[in-house]
Amino acid sequence: MRAPVAGHQYLIDDEVLGTIPGMGNRREKLSDQVRRAVDASGLSRYRICKTLGLAEATMSRFMNGQGGLSMAHLDALADLLDLNITPGRKPGPKKGK
């Protein structure tokens, strides 16, 4: 995982971490956060697709929650939009200390 950098947007990786029982509301899905970041980027979906070499139909299915993107395309999209994934849980005390 990359270290936090000032000026970057961060995504909470809830799909990887899951939720902890009894910890309240479920976080927003990673895919929903990516879709929101695309919409907030100011770039057209057409321009994003052309830059990434991604079919517009594939991006459309992703944005509508009907399909996914490859890890390569997600990495390229994260680079284009200056996104980082960070754990959604706060560090707690280390065990045994």
pTM, rounded to two decimals: 0.59
The C-alpha angle 42, 46, 49, rounded to 5 degrees, equals 100
pLDDT of residue 43: 93
- The CATH class for the domain spanning 9-86 reads mainly alpha
Q: CA 78 to CA 10: how far, in whole Å?
A: 10
Domain map (residue ranges) of the chain: 9-86
Of 52 and 89, more confident: 52
Tens-place pLDDT, residues 29-64: 777 888 889 889 999 999 999 999 999 999 989 888
> What would the pLDDT profile of 2-38 be if each residue is shown by its tens digit?
444 455 554 544 444 444 444 446 777 777 888 889 8
pLDDT value, residue 48: 95
**10 Å Cβ neighbour count for 37?**
16
